Amino acid sequence: MFKLIRRQIDFKTSEKVYKGLIASIIDYCCMFYINATQKNIKRITRLIYHCALIVVRGSRFISEIKLLQELGWNSFQERTNYLSITMFAKIKLNCTPRIIYNKFFVNLPKNVGRNAGKLKVIFSKKNKFYNSYYFKMIRMWNNLKLQIRQCDNYPDYLDQMYKQYEVHQYKKIKLFHYDTKIDKIYLQLRFHCSKLNADQYKLNFVDNSKCNRCNKNRQETIHHFFLDCAAYDTQRNILINNIQSLDDKLKKINKRQIIQLIEGSKHFQVGYQTYKNIYQYVKLYIVTSGRFV
Ligand SMILES: [Zn+2]
- How many angstroms separate the Cα of 199 from the Cα of each of 30, 144, 190, 223? 38, 42, 11, 12
For the cut 50, the answer to whether the pLDDT of residue 271 exceeds it is yes
Q: Which alpha helices (DSSP H) does the chain contain, by range?
A: 2-6, 11-17, 24-28, 38-56, 64-71, 76-92, 98-101, 127-130, 133-143, 146-149, 154-164, 181-190, 197-202, 222-223, 233-244, 255-263, 272-289
Instruction: Give the lowest-confidence range in 2-6, 152-156, 174-178, 257-261.
Output: 174-178
Residue 2 CA to ligand 1 centre (angstroms): 40
Residue 220 CA to ligand 1 centre (angstroms): 6
Q: What average pLDDT score do residues 25-43 get?
A: 85
For the cut 80, the answer to whether the pLDDT of residue 41 exceeds it is yes
Q: What average pLDDT score do residues 186-210 get?
A: 86
For the cut 50, the answer to whether the pLDDT of residue 73 exceeds it is yes
Residue pLDDT, tens place only, 158-179: 888 877 766 544 444 455 667 7
Quote the percentage of the chain above a pLDDT of 90: 1
User: One-letter amino acid identity for 147?
Assistant: Q
Q: What average pLDDT score do residues 243-249 get?
A: 81
Residue 279 CA to ligand 1 centre (angstroms): 22
Residue 48 CA to ligand 1 centre (angstroms): 37
Quote the percentage of the chain above a pLDDT of 70: 92
pTM of the model: 0.72
Residue 226 CA to ligand 1 centre (angstroms): 10
β-bridge partners, 92: none
| pLDDT given at position 170 | 43
Residue 187 CA to ligand 1 centre (angstroms): 21
| pLDDT given at position 39 | 92
Phi then psi dihedrals of residue 262, to 5 deg: -65, -40
Instruction: Give the lowest-confidence range in 123-137, 167-181, 184-198, 212-226.
Output: 167-181
For the cut 70, the answer to whether the pLDDT of residue 265 exceeds it is no
Residue 221 CA to ligand 1 centre (angstroms): 9
For the cut 60, the answer to whether the pLDDT of residue 138 exceeds it is yes
